[in-house]
Amino acid sequence: MHPQFKNFTHLEAEEFLKEMSDTRGEAVIRPSSKGPDHLSLTWMWVEGEFMHTDIKELGKQPGSMLAPRLKIGGEEYEDLDEIISRRVSACNDLVNDLLASDKYNPGTSAEVEKTLQKQKDDAPNRIPYLMCRRGVPGYVNLMYLPAHTVRKIVVEVSPEGYVMSKRCFKTLPELFKWFKLNAQQLGRSSRTSRKSSSRQASSSNGTSTSSSSSHYQQPPLPPDNVPPPPPPRPAAPAPAAGQPQYPAYSGGAYGYNSGQPSYGSQAGYAGAPAPARPGTRWWWWW
């Protein structure tokens, strides 16, 4: 069996890596609780944080120690050595560059926010930014302060590079260059995402933004399923003696006999009620 294979549980694997002299970047391969055709890779990507990755064995024959093909996510590997080389070693190189960067801060998010605020106070015209641990193995936060509120962008450390906003960057300088050119757009998309999430949460909680008329239910029809006839139109009252008489409403859009086109009016009907107004007009405030 492979020299890095250990018959450990995930807790035993973590304790074993903690006791090693050079812990960061080390990994062990162990049995998986998902079944005999699975293995698990436990990797200490930074001190005190472990990533557990499922390895699927493809085409494993009964009685064999290891399948001829291994799969992690959508990527296939020939053996465990290829996994260690292409996955663990590649990520270790990226983590080493990250921890050595002058833009990496080992503090917590709250401590990084205070540091960014101090840098902003010292240079108000600049946008300070730093990277720090997120508390989730394999991910870090890129935090920056454009004005008064600190913003965060999640960055994933993957075997292919640093993944941010669905883009993969081979090096940190490439990531920082793209970030500086697109920071303003990232802020707008982040606010739009939060508003969309808020609307979805309101909808899931039973809150509706539609008008109350959408919840109105028409009363049931009579037993013969024939709607009742509309009530008769009341006759126009005769004008009192001495009261001035006005011309009949002709359906004008702006008042009596305005000469404007009518909206389905009853022209010539003395005393006809005003027609229904067209659809509601919405006004947008800027």
User: What radius of gyration, in Å, describes the C-alpha atoms of the chain?
Assistant: 35
What pLDDT does residue 61 have? 86
- Asked whether the whole model's pTM tops 0.85, one would answer no
Mean pLDDT (whole number) for 109-133: 94
DSSP letters, 134-203, are: -SSTTEEEEEE-SSSS-EEEEEEEETTEEEETTEEESSHHHHHHHHHHHHHHHHHHHHHHHHHHHHHHHH
- CA–CA separation, 59 vs 67, rounded Å? 6
Please check the confidence at residue 224 and state whether its pLDDT lies above 90: no
Determine the Cα–Cα distance for residues 187 and 168; give it in Å rounded to an integer: 19
DSSP codes of every residue in 228-252: PPPPPPPPPPPPPTTPPP-PPP---
Higher pLDDT, 241 or 42: 42
Is 77 or 262 the better-scoring residue by pLDDT?
Answer: 77
| Bridge partners, 140 (sequence order) | 133, 155
- φ, ψ dihedrals at 39, nearest 5°: -130, 165
Each residue's pLDDT tens digit, 7-58: 999 999 999 998 876 678 899 999 999 999 999 999 999 888 999 999 999 9
- What's the confidence (pLDDT) of residue 64? 85
Q: Between 78 and 206, where is the model more confident?
A: 78
| Contact yes or no for 99/46 (Cβ under 8 A) | yes
Between CA 130 and CA 145 the distance in angstroms is 9
CA distance 57 to 77: 10
Q: Alpha carbon 161 to chain centroid distance?
A: 22
CA atoms within 13 A on the CB side of 217: 3
Average pLDDT over the chain reads: 77
Q: Among 29-43, 215-229, 231-245, which stretch is predicted with the lowest mean pLDDT?
A: 215-229
pLDDT of residue 228: 60
Instruction: Spell out the domains of the chain, with CATH numbers in brackets.
Output: 10-97 (3.30.505.10), 109-197 (3.30.505.10)
pLDDT at 219 over 50: no
- DSSP code of residue 29: E
With cut-offs at 50, 70 and 90, classify the pLDDT of residue 1: confident
- pLDDT tens for 138-189 read 999 999 998 889 999 999 999 999 999 999 999 999 999 999 998 877 756 5
Confidence of residue 112 (pLDDT cuts 50, 70, 90): very high
User: Are the CB atoms for 143 and 130 separated by under 8 Å?
Assistant: yes
197 — pLDDT class (breaks 50, 70, 90): very low
Which residues in 112-144 are b (16+ Cβ under 10 Å) and which e? Answer: bbebbeebbeeeeeebbbbbbbbeebbbbbbbb
Mean pLDDT of 130-142: 93
Q: How far is CA 67 from CA 60, 97, 264, 267, in A?
A: 4, 34, 78, 87
Percent of the chain with pLDDT over 70: 64
Q: Of all residues in the chain, what percent carry a pLDDT higher than 90?
A: 51
For residue 111, the SS3 value is helix
Cα atoms in the 13 Å half-sphere on the side-chain side of 174:
11
